A and B are shown apart, each in its own frame.
Chain A
């Protein structure tokens, strides 16, 4: 296995939902400033694994988590840790774009405001900067006060990206972030990710193999709640060691 600096390291992570064993003894490392793609058939636990990185699975009643998830070496399931700080550090982009019920400007300023930035000038600067990074500034700069709900789905997802980036996370999680978008908008989001990986560690869940091939530096293949294989993208796609990985990539299981 190739040596890299892990940004997130997961050891013996087990997640139960009631009696259902969703994730089984997961041990993986997520490399820093690369795109890691989690692939696998639907229902294999991809989203659960992703949401365990920013403790969004805590919100599900009846879920129990054991094992270790470390971000920069810090155990994020330690009871003393402030969960809001973890989520500030690890941004997330959802399957469907969900703008907040407020203006475009307020959507981007939402996170910074919560974390104590209240000066107008500073907020203006943050909003402009991250709308530019998300590639939306030119389209919305004249109507920052209008409701975010009036944007198209593709624009909304870029707005969500700007909102995520505005709290200055180190890691960005994407839960099938292009699945609700048209092909052109999906392409744009993919390009944003490729641009962003020089500054951020990115983890994306997808069930679209071609998208995984386009984006991935590193791949984790999940099947029935277990990590079957993980490694550099080229190795996984061109020379998988495991029969099940081969079958999935060959389109025999889906």
Chain B
């Protein structure tokens, strides 16, 4: 083997090794969570709120955290979409190049801000306004966390839409808004969906930002101003107990979290296949 072939073989080996490691880690995580958590899954866990002594190993469930997480994540995803979609549209056709680059840079920086910082920021504002930790506070802070992700991901997929496709729309006399809503958004639909799911996944899994803003409670929230529990914090609190049998409940909570993320992803993909087949390759 000469030097170039050796080089080829060496780097190919490195690439394969890296791929195997990352896929392996993914399966290891799934295996640990499922093996430890699945046996503890029970109907009562899914349908009951914690009874007195739940954190000491007595009966009950984590319905409070499941409902709380669904409220928080879907609320924040909805709110983020309402804000992110117009920003992404604006960046496509209306903003001047320089301003658009500035906005993109700002969003990229926000994307990198740790979620505990969002939490602390939200907490400060809430203290200033005299608000207690509540569902609404959690939704708003999660929205701040998810916005840069959703906006930038949407923006990138819309930028991939060929310029000629927009030109085609203008050429029959459409306005910019019509071109964006009827052509660009349809072409980018699979990517827009991915953007929403990416943000949703980040939001439902985040603990630090909602620790002080949504709080934690054993009850299901009945209004936006009630505190709300969440699955990531349930995992955190359950793992934090000294009792091994309670700690294992944390893995069951993690399984529920995974199932929610997975099923949301699958269901929304199925719902949109009807439209995605029209995408121009």
**Interfacial residues, chain A to chain B (CB-CB below 8 A):** 54, 56, 59, 61, 84-88, 91-92, 94-96, 98-103, 110-111, 114-115, 147-149, 160, 163-164, 166-167
Contact = CB atoms under 8 A, between A and B. Distances in A.
Contacts of A163: 168, 172
Nearest to B279: A101
> Interface range on chain B: under 10, 10 to 19, 20 to 34, or 35 or more?
20 to 34
Nearest to B164: A98
Contacts of A92: 167, 171
B174 interface: yes
Q: Is the interface of B mostly helix, strand, loop or mixed?
A: helix
Interface string B146-187: 000000000000000010111111111111001000110011
B164 A88 contact: no
Interface of B: 96-97, 162, 164-175, 178, 182-183, 186-187, 277-281
Contacts of B178: 114
Contact of A98 (B97, B165, B278): B165
Given A101-B186, A102-B278, A149-B280, A94 B164 contact: yes
A163 B162 CA distance: 18
A99 B172 contact: no
B280 A84 contact: no
Q: Which of A95, A111, A114, A163 has the most CB of B within 10 A?
A: A114
Contacts of B165: 98, 100-101
Q: Which of B167, B171, B280 has the most CB of A within 10 A?
A: B171
Contacts of A149: 278-281
A84 B279 contact: no
A209 B278 CA distance: 37
Contact of B175 (A84, A96, A167): A84
Nearest to B184: A101
Contacts of B164: 94-96, 98
Contact of B169 (A86, A91, A100): A100
